[in-house]
Structure formats: structure tokens, C-alpha cells
Amino acid sequence: MEIVSDFLVIGSGIAGLFYALKVADHGRVVIITKKERAESNTNYAQGGIASVFSPDDSYELHIQDTLNVGAGLCNREAVEIMVYEGPKKVEELIQIGVEFTRTQNGRLDLGMEGGHSRKRIVHAKDLTGREIERALLEKVLSHPNVEHHVAIDLITEHHLVGIDKSKKLDNIHCWGVYALDARTGQVKKFLSKVTMLATGGLGQVYIHTTNPAIATGDGVAMAYRAGAKIGNMEFIQFHPTTLYNSGSPAFLISEAVRGFGGILRTKKGEDFMKKYDPRGSLAPRDVVARAIDSELKKSGDEYVYLDLTHLDPDKVKDRFPHIYEKCLEFKIDITKEPIPVVPAAHYSCGGVVTDLWGRTSIVGLYAAGETAMTGVHGANRLASNSLLEALVFSDRAASDSVKFVRENFFKFPDIPDWVDTGIFNMEEWVLISHDKKEIQQLMWDYVGIVRSTLRLERAKRRIELIANEIEEFYKKTKVTADIIELRNLATVALLIIRSALMRKESRGLHYTTDYPYRDDENWLKDTIIQDIRI
């Protein structure tokens, strides 16, 4: 089955939806999204959107905060674009119908988070992502078609008959995607003049993560197999405060809780963060996550505490109603007792390399949101910059996409239908399905907050074996959603490990005991991986 559109969007978080809304008046839009609409990293975002609205704030302060946290690897031009264009995008969200929390005088209520020098977090209580997604979905669904499918692979020259697939092509084109209709088991061919990758994160590559089950790195894996440039995959942000023993995905305790006055303490009550950073509990995430990791290893404890008991209980419940109610489910009243917290994988600062207009190294393929590496985050993401980045750069990608479609004549090549002659082997799948937990545990144990060359090489050897098993199974069996996600997880895990082994220093979110110091002389640069794997 063949479906043709002008704009194909893979993913339905903030980046995909905002992009779809922007291009919807310029051609047919098809959105491919898997599983439930509400399952996205956007929906799980509690904190908010960092943007300059306060009279005591400035664009330059926001830029400097972002650059400082990014540990020297941010692209300043990309950061400036995000910061300067950000307030207008927030205003657009308000016009669309997003209801942000306001003060009694009607102004936006601005929160504080780690790494920021001013209050600038625009939020909707502690459910900002859910509120944004609600409003965007209501607006977008009146325009394009939404297809519930799982993307398998991008359609490029490598799928054409008569092409030497062993040769690397300098000028790769994307003409859409093969995608599985999980309800019918049918693989469809989606052809499009432009394809936007907005598939979100990859947190499920780790056993402890704040990401939903669908965050399996699909966009990065597909783009890599097609030959796109992938950058800075070693920089995985571990959110320092998730509710201990809250299951998978781990329940996130927003950074805004510390911005509101929450203090991190050991089980003995020590305010330990002051030993690691003069900003104490308001230090950036990488510093806080490593500090907690260090304290837990020294004490042997399974968690530290995040303490709000010294704050006004009514104000705490008003500002964090969702967190308050969720903790009550675990029999924790956060106004009367401290919250047990541990770090968990949260956000990927690397991804598919794009320029300032969302263009990847493949013609006709764009990327935005967590899937993309725009250069904004560098070696560490400043809190609440992710939703802002997704808004600004999906908007820019939409503008460029419309121009690309308008200025180019399109004649799709003769692209073959998907051939799926395999038979699903349940007995073999039972064995292969265990690979997911093994990948997640290996990544947590050896490619986590603190790394070493020995650990990385051990993980690489083991995951390469697992990835080969998965690939062999994938090629001979009937494709399913679980197989697609497992294949992508293995691909992304190896990209993270390869990138981490390439960087011979410690910077931002990447800390290795073999190279414990930052090395600006040799490593003030991005790590780039590019291969043809289809």
C-alpha cells in the first residue's frame, strides 16, 4: 500500500505537532505516530519552557546560562536563535490555547531551575508538557491525517533496484518511510516530498529512565542506518531526582522542586550538595547527578532525600499538585517528609545532526526535538531548554520545508514495495526478547553516569553480539513493532558507546575515570558518526 504526501511527520510530541501545524496550510500532511497519543517525552515534561519574560532577565543572561551549562560545546548561533525567537513561540502557544500558570496580577508565573541565573521557567503547574500537547493536538488534528504506525526504515537510494548498496553515497535523498501498521501487521510505503523526524528520545536504552516505553531512539537509529550524520551521542543526561522505587518509567521529581527551595540531603540529613558546587541544590543536572552517584557509592544507601518540609505546605501543594498526589500514592506526604530520590536516564543531548533550519545531511530529511542535534545543548542541556528548542527549530524547519517543496520539482523514483516473506518464530522470539533487558542493564552498569574505557569496551563487545543476533532474527522473520524497537535500541546503544569511546576527556554529561579532566585543546569539538547500514 502506498500513501503519498507533501509533508511526512514521524512523531507526535511538541516538535512534530508544532511542525505539522506550521506546514498544514501548504500541502498534505501525514503524521505517523506509534501507540497512544499521550505517550511522548513532551507529555512527561513537568518543568516548563525557559524563556525571557521577566524585566530583570535578558537574552544575554539566558544565552550565557545555556553556554555555561553546555561546557564549551554549544553552537552559540543556535543558542542565540533559540533564545531570541523563544518568547514569540511561547506567545504562539498561548494563542493556540495553552494555559500557562499565571500570578494574581495575570502575568506569567516564572519558576527557577538549576543552572539558571534568573526566574524564567514558564509552566503549567507541574504538568507543562501535558498541557502543551493537549492544546497542540486539538489544533493539529483538525488539519492533517494521523496514522498509527511504527516507522521501520527511511526510504533512500539504498532501497532502489540496481544501486550498489556497498558504496557510500555523497548525495542521499529521503523519499519517505516504510512503516508497520501494528493493528493489521501490514507494512506500508509512505512517500513524501519532505520527511520530518521528531521521534523523541531514547531513554529506554537504560533500565532506569523517566522516558515512556515508546522512547526507543527510532529516529536516530533510522537516520543512522540511512547514512545521516549522528553527533554527540555520549552526552546522555541523567535526571538527578526521580522517585525511588517508582517503577518504569521512573516518576520524575521536577527540577523546579529544587528551584522552589527543595534541598538535597543524605539519609543522615546532610545538605551534601554544598560540597560539590557553590550553588548547592541548584547546580546543573550533570553536577547533581554525579554528586548523588558519589554519595550513594560512599554510603551504600539506595537513595538520597529531596526535602521540602521547611517550605509552606500550601504553596508546595499549589505549585506541584501532580507530584504531591503521585507521592501520596507511595504513602509519602512531601509537605511532611522528604522524598527518596535517585538519578535516571532522562534526555539525549546528541542526535541527528542538523543545521540551523533543521536540515540533516540527507536531502529532504529534517529533524527536530530530542531526535536532533542542533548545537543548542552542547555537552549538557540547561533545564527547560528542550521544549523551547523543539518549538523554535521545528518552526524553522517548517519554514524551510515549505520553501523546499515550493522550489523543487518532485518525481518519485520507482520504489519497491516492502517484501515481508518471513514467518514469525515464537520460540526464537522468546530468546531474543530477553535481549532488551540485557541491553538496558549493560548500559546502566557500564555506560551510565560514571564511565571507564574498560567498562565501555566490555559493553561494546557484549552489545555487538546481541545486536548481531537481533539483526539476524529481524532479517528472517515477519516484522513486528517489538522487533523494530529492539533493533533500534541495539543500534542506539552502540552509537552511545562508540561516541563515548571516541571522546578522550570528561566534559558535561560524559565523565570517564580514564580521562577525568576537560581537554579544550584536543576535544573542543563534536563527535560525529556516519555510516551506511541499510
Beta strands of 103-253 (E only): which ranges? Answer: 110-111, 121-122, 145-148, 150-154, 176-181, 186-197, 230-231, 236-243
- How would DSSP label each residue in 104-133? TTSSB-EE--TT-SS--EE-STT-HHHHHH
Contacts of 196 (CB under 8 A, 6+ apart): 7, 8, 9, 10, 11, 16, 19, 358, 366, 367, 368, 394, 397, 401
C-alpha span between 91 and 223 (Å, rounded): 32
C-alpha span between 373 and 375 (Å, rounded): 6
DSSP state of 274: G
The CB density around residue 69, as the number of other CB atoms within 10 Å, is 25
C-alpha span between 147 and 414 (Å, rounded): 23
CB-CB contact of 327 with 243 (8 Å): yes
Q: What's the Rg (C-alpha) of the chain?
A: 22
Active site residue 285: yes
Per DSSP, the three-state class of 154 is strand
> Which cell is 414 given?
520507482
**Residue closest to 343 by CA, chosen among 218, 195, 255, 241:** 241
**Residue closest to 154 by CA, chosen among 526, 410, 484, 489:** 484
CB-CB contact of 178 with 187 (8 Å): yes
**Residue closest to 386 by CA, chosen among 370, 367, 372, 371:** 370
**Exposure pattern of 295-310 as b/e (b: 16+ CB <10 Å)?**
bbeeeeeebbbbbbbe
Looking up cell 525511588, which residue turns up? 244
Which run of H or of E encompasses 79? Answer: helix 76-96
Q: Which of 225, 265, 285, 455 is catalytic?
A: 285
CB-neighbour burial class of residue 392 (10 A; exposed 0-12, middle 13-18, buried 19+):
buried
CB-CB contact of 331 with 323 (8 Å): no
C-alpha span between 184 and 426 (Å, rounded): 18
DSSP state of 236: E
DSSP strand pairing (145-148 vs 304-307): unpaired
CB-neighbour burial class of residue 487 (10 A; exposed 0-12, middle 13-18, buried 19+):
buried
C-alpha span between 502 and 484 (Å, rounded): 27
Known catalytic residues are 285
